[in-house]
Structures are given as C-alpha cells and as structure tokens.
Structure 1
C-alpha cells in the first residue's frame, strides 16, 4: 500500500496527467499482490469501468452546452439576469450569479461556466469599475453552481457507479444550487454597501425584463425540457441529454448561428473533454479494484468509526477528508475513488443515499475553486490574464460562505431531500 501511495504522489507531483497516474498506481498495486494472473484485471477493469449506459449522457450534455454557448445563448441569459438584478448596488456581480444559475441548467459543468463568463462578464465588470480579481472571484464562486443544479455530469458519474437514482440526484441538487447563489448574492450585497460597488443604470421594470425574456426564452426551455423529461419519468438521463442536443442543434439552425466549421470545433471540444473524463474513470476503475481486493475501503471505514461513532463527527471527518483530497486531486478522480469508500459509510450511519451523494458532490465542487489544482481558477486565470493568487485572495469570503452552505446541506437532510421526496424518489 505504501509503494502504491508513493507512486501516486510522485507521479502527481512531477506533472503526469491524473488519468495516467491512476492507471500506473493501479497496475503497481496489482503487481504488489504477487500473482501474475491478476494483471489481466487491468484491461478488464479499464473497459468495465466505462461499460455503463448512463455514461453516454455526459458527452451529450457537454455537446449541448457547447452548442448553446456557440449560438450566443450566454449573452441572452446575461441580459435577462441583468434586467432582473442589474439595477442593484453591485448589479453586475448579482447578474453574474443569476446568470450562473440559468447557465447551470444547460451545461452542468463548472469549467464551462467559468470559461463563458470569464470571456464575457469579467471584462464587462472591469469596464464598469469592478476590480478584476473581484470579478473573477464572483465568477468562480458562481461556477460551482453548474455541477450542483441539474443537469450535472458529476451526478451522472456518481449515480452510475453507486447505483443511485440519477433523477433523484438531479432533483436533490436544485435547492443546494439555489442556496449557494442566494448566499453569494447576500455577500455581494454586503460588499456593495461596504465598498460602494457600481450600481446599474435605471430601476427595475417589467418592460426590460419582458424584452430580455423574449430574447432568452429559447435557452430557458432547455433546462425545463431536460428536467421535465427526466423527473417526469418520460426518459432516462441519457435520452434526455440526446434530446437536449437535438433541441440545441435545431435552435442553432433556425437562428442561423451555426456553420459546419462550428460543428466540427464543438465536436472536437466535446471529444477532448469527454476523453479526459472517461480516461480518468477507466483508470480509476483499475485502482478501485485493487483497493477493493486489499479491503482498503473497509479499513478506512473502520478507522473513521473507531475514532468516534457519533454520526455528526463521522460526517464532519468525511467532509474534511473530501475538502483535503480536493485540494490536490482532480474532482472526477476524487469522486470515483472516494465515493465507493465513503458513501456506504454514510449510509451505515443513517444518511439517505441521495443525500450522501449530494453532500459528497458539493464538497468536491468547492474544491474546483481552491488552489493548488482548482480547475475553475486555472480557467479564469487563462481567459482573463489575472494571477491565481489575486483571484484566490478575493475569493476567500465566497469560499467560506459556500462552506457554510455545505455544512447546512450535510446536517439538514430535509432541505436536500424535500424535492426528491415530493417527486417520489
């Protein structure tokens, strides 16, 4: 076990992509077992790790988001958000957060949100008098709403590998995502008064909201279409994702905003992102098999329970472990490795499987905006030119606020499970 851990850490530190790190560490673990016939498990687990029908939903959701972003949907959503809250003190920061909620229902990915708004809203905020680090911090804080509010690729991964209802996870993610946005907007309101943040032009009016809604309603149909099909029991998440792609393509063709060149670039981008995620899933399956063979999950569970058996303490320890691992490991790899270990432990102390999944996903989502490997930080730094250190410094208040939301979600199950129970999940 020590050799595998050292292999993993050394390869990660020298900069080897995490997908290869997981595979090499898993093969080293199999070699340590001492039986050569076990080497056949590596290619078997590589393919078996991907042999799940729900995984097909991921490339479809990613492609649908690419199409909607390429057709200018992001700009229309920002206009609607600005009409709703842009007139407040710190209006563009509020608009950023509201637009993140709307955009989350289309892409389900934090990095897509960070890239889209890093290119559009951050420069607009800077031109209105906001500091660039603060604008990036607001965008980063809002970006994790993407994989929290459905559809979420992380929920597809978790539901597939843990056998938990993906539709139930989607329903359970609505309240936490909205709560994150409300808490961040409350923080922006406080900063607005304290720092005298810029205020939008004019006042709230129904006419501007209606005009913005008329322009953006085609985009708002997509999340309603996806959730309606899944939560209504009409389609599986994979089928709903395919419908979303068809809808996005039809919208782009009608609006004449797509070309063959655009389609090629979007397919290439989708293939690249999907390939990275699938490589991590496949190689993590090899490492996961070795961990199961060596009964490491059981050892970790016993170690946590031996410290103290109180459910509240166990939940706190698991949250700290997730947040710590998230500092150094890719979120997809962390989810695939830790979920089979921690989820059964959480259900043992009485936590509902859907609630456990949402808590784990939200904790790992927060790691998307924490250094040193926070993906959203790197995306924003690359598209805006701002230093990661400056973004992180401005981000701390939002990070603490979202950690507070995580604590509430972890210890108040009714808040998370209200909508799933209402829908019968």
Structure 2
C-alpha cells in the first residue's frame, strides 16, 4: 500500500497536480485497491488532522503579515534599518538582511517577506546602483530568516504534529535566526571587499530617530509576542490574536494607512491562504496516518539504524533528505509528511524534539530559496522583474552561508537549546 501511494503521488506530482490534491488522490487509491482499512477512515483522519487548537494561530499570523504589508509598515521598517546601515559598504544589502530579521517578528512567512519587503528593498537597491541579480539574490536568501525567528507558521505546524511546546519552539528559533542574518552579512562583506558596493550618506541621529519614530510601533510587535509568551501572559495562539489586533489598530487607527474598505480584501486573502494551508495539512494528515498504521516509519528508523548508529551520519542523512525534498516539494507538505518519519529517527540518536524542530524547519526554509522550484525564488524574480534563470544563478552564492548556518544549528545543539533552557527551566 505504501509503495502504491508513493508511486501514485510521484506520478501526479510530475503531472503538475497540486501537492495537496496529489496526496489525497494517492491515499484514496492506495486504500481502495491495496489497503486493509475502510477507505472511509481517510476522511475521518483528514478532519482530525486539522482539529487542533494550536493551528488556530496560523490564520492569525497570516492576517498579521497581510495587515503589515497592506499598511505600508514594511517600508517603515526598511527605512529605519537603511538609516542605520546605509552608510556602510553594501549598506543597503545589510539593511535588506536586518529588515528581514525585524519583519520576521511579525509575519512568520518566507514568501510574505520576499513579496512584502522585497518590493521595497529591490527598488531601493536598484536606485542606488546595485546589480539587480545581487539585489534579488540577497532578498530571497534573507527571506529564509522569516519562519525561523518567532512567530513562525512552520514551527506552529511542527509543534502541533510533534506535540512540542510552540512557545519553546519560538524561543528556540531566536538564536538560529540571528545566526542566519550574521552569516548572510558576512557573505555581503566578503563579496563587497575593496569597496565594490555603493554607500549612502551617513544619516545623522536626528534622521535615525525620526525613522525609528515612524517604525517604532510596528517594531514593538515581536517584543509584545515574546514577552507575552515568556511571561506566560498568553499562549502562542492567543499571541497570534494579540499580534493581529495590534497590527489592525496601528494600521487603521494610528498610521491610517489602511481604510475600512480595504479590510474585506485583506480578510479574503487571509482566508484563501489559510484554506490552502489547512487543506494541505488535512490531506497530508491522512498520509501520515497510513505511514503510522503500516509502521513504515518504524521500518525506516530500523533501516537507517541498521546502516549506522553514528548521530553525525544520521543527522547528515536527514539534512540531505530534507534539503532535496525542500527544493522540489512545497515546504508545508514536506514538513507534515516527514515529521512523523524523521522525528523518531532523530530522537533515537539522542536529538531533542525541540532541537529537531528547528533543524527540519531550517532545512525546508533553505529549500524555499533553492533551485529548481523554491517558492521564494519565483516570488522574488517576479518582484525584481528578472527571468527565473537569472534568479537561480543569483541565489547560488548566498546558499553557502545558509548551509554553513544549518551545519552549526545541526551539530551545535546549544545554539538552539540555550534560550529555552534558560527561560523555561
């Protein structure tokens, strides 16, 4: 049955059938023709797969990101970082990375980062004389930071599947996210050696404080989320509601960059995105159930452990598997399919489920910016107005620091575990 499901899924995927639909059809046909369980159980598992209170956080964080983008808050954030870093060699490239770090604390989505901030960043860099390929490359690479720094939609999904505290996952993503930003900035410094990149005039303190004043309220969003989570004021799901309400108030009442007549469109976009995500989760939950009842996951663990018990090699195999799948298949689907399979394997070699959550999400987010079908590549290419082939060449240098950060996160557990252990003793 498992072989049949995988073959049908592979054939439908090659025929460009959407991942969620391909998964559902493959599971249904596998159950009907090869399964020993009533096919009706599939629909029960589809429903129970999304019957999880934690998943309510997804539409709330999606709404927060949509409100931030529609309210012009992305431009305020980038302007502030630009005033602080623009005078350095490659200053706008560093500002690109810094803005992604700040925006990550609001949207939790790599694609939202690439689409929202990307339009502002690439235009500014192009006006300053940066090569458009370089500008698009650093924009796509920095978008990877979005789902690592809290809040994070992929971490919410992983937490629901793996039964790991989403609050602790959010805290665990802070240091790895900053490590990603540092590694990308180091690559910018290396590529810009000899003063190759443009500089802007140094902004004085008055200009910087003015930019901070314009962006200050929006920059408070991640602080509100983290302080509330760490202090036990609200749960991750409630944090999504607080973030969405806060974004609505500052966009509609304070900044007045959104009008009441704009809200229906924003709500519809949020509902569409949420429906897509939950439909994927629902169909893949049925597939995960088949893997569980057929004990395919246990067989996989035993097979790998039969080859090696070395944690270094096992983690390398897991990373290679996730990187390949992440650059070929939609990240959310891979996350839901592979977590039940790979988590027991990781735990069997001594990896903490909290640590593994950051490893799997980081792998898949790098896949979002990796050829041939990384979603951020297509979004950024569209925003930059360049062919996808040029976009794929432009991202290649920036994959080096991303892979380097992945190795550190994988093999130095304290990078991930330090803050959760400190704040959640």
Shorter-chain TM-score bucket reads over 0.9
Structure 2 CA distance, aligned partners of 1:339 and 1:86? 41
SS in 2 for 1:420: helix
TM-score by length of 2: 0.97
Instruction: Report the Cα offset of residue 34 of structure 1.
Output: 4.0
Structure 2 CA distance, aligned partners of 1:327 and 1:76? 32
User: Which residue pairs with 2:123 in the alignment?
Assistant: 123
Structure 1 CA distance, aligned partners of 2:290 and 2:194? 54
User: Which residue pairs with 2:32 in the alignment?
Assistant: 31
Superimposed CA distance per residue, residues 37-92 of structure 1 (whole angstroms, 9 cap, x where no aligned partner): 52111110111010000100010011011112211111110111112211101111
Instruction: Report the Cα offset of residue 308 of structure 1.
Output: 0.9
User: Which residue pairs with 1:385 in the alignment?
Assistant: 385
Superimposed CA distance per residue, residues 115-164 of structure 1 (whole angstroms, 9 cap, x where no aligned partner): 01232111221121111111110100100100000000000000011100
User: Which residue pairs with 1:328 in the alignment?
Assistant: 328
Alignment of 1:86-101 (within 5 A): 86-101=86-101
Q: Which moved more, 1:364-373 or 1:187-196?
A: 187-196
Alignment of 1:42-57 (within 5 A): 42-57=42-57
Q: Does the aligned pair in 2 maintain the 1:85–1:94 contact within 8 Å?
A: yes
User: Which residue pairs with 2:105 in the alignment?
Assistant: 105
Q: Does the aligned pair in 2 maintain the 1:152–1:170 contact within 8 Å?
A: yes
Alignment of 1:250-269 (within 5 A): 250-254=249-253, 255-269=255-269
Q: Which moved more, 1:2-11 or 1:165-174?
A: 2-11
Q: Which moved more, 1:220-229 or 1:248-257?
A: 248-257
Q: Which moved more, 1:284-293 or 1:188-197?
A: 188-197
User: Which residue pairs with 2:58 in the alignment?
Assistant: 58
Q: Which moved more, 1:246-255 or 1:74-83?
A: 246-255
Instruction: Report the Cα offset of residue 2 of structure 1.
Output: 2.8
Structure 2 CA distance, aligned partners of 1:6 and 1:351? 31
Superimposed CA distance per residue, residues 183-216 of structure 1 (whole angstroms, 9 cap, x where no aligned partner): 10111111112571111222x6433322211111
Structure 2 CA distance, aligned partners of 1:313 and 1:378? 33
Structure 1 CA distance, aligned partners of 2:407 and 2:195? 28
Question: 2:157 matched to 1:176?
Answer: no
Structure 1 CA distance, aligned partners of 2:204 and 2:414? 36
For structure 2, the 5+ residue unaligned runs are: none
TM-score by length of 1: 0.97
Q: Give the direction of change, closer, same or farther, for the CA distance of 1:34–1:105 in structure 2 (3 Å limit).
A: closer
The aligned length equals 423
Q: Does the aligned pair in 1 maintain the 2:218–2:250 contact within 8 Å?
A: no
Instruction: Report the Cα offset of residue 386 of structure 1.
Output: 1.0
Instruction: Report the Cα offset of residue 317 of structure 1.
Output: 0.6
Superimposed CA distance per residue, residues 274-328 of structure 1 (whole angstroms, 9 cap, x where no aligned partner): 1111010000011111111221111111121111111111111111111111121
Instruction: Report the Cα offset of residue 93 of structure 1.
Output: 0.6
Instruction: Report the Cα offset of residue 14 of structure 1.
Output: 1.1
User: Which residue pairs with 2:151 in the alignment?
Assistant: 151
Q: Does the aligned pair in 1 maintain the 2:78–2:117 contact within 8 Å?
A: no
Q: Does the aligned pair in 2 maintain the 1:26–1:288 contact within 8 Å?
A: no
Superimposed CA distance per residue, residues 213-248 of structure 1 (whole angstroms, 9 cap, x where no aligned partner): 111110111111111111211111111111111111
Structure 2 CA distance, aligned partners of 1:32 and 1:370? 37
Structure 1 CA distance, aligned partners of 2:33 and 2:304? 26
Q: Give the direction of change, closer, same or farther, for the CA distance of 1:194–1:393 in structure 2 (3 Å limit).
A: farther
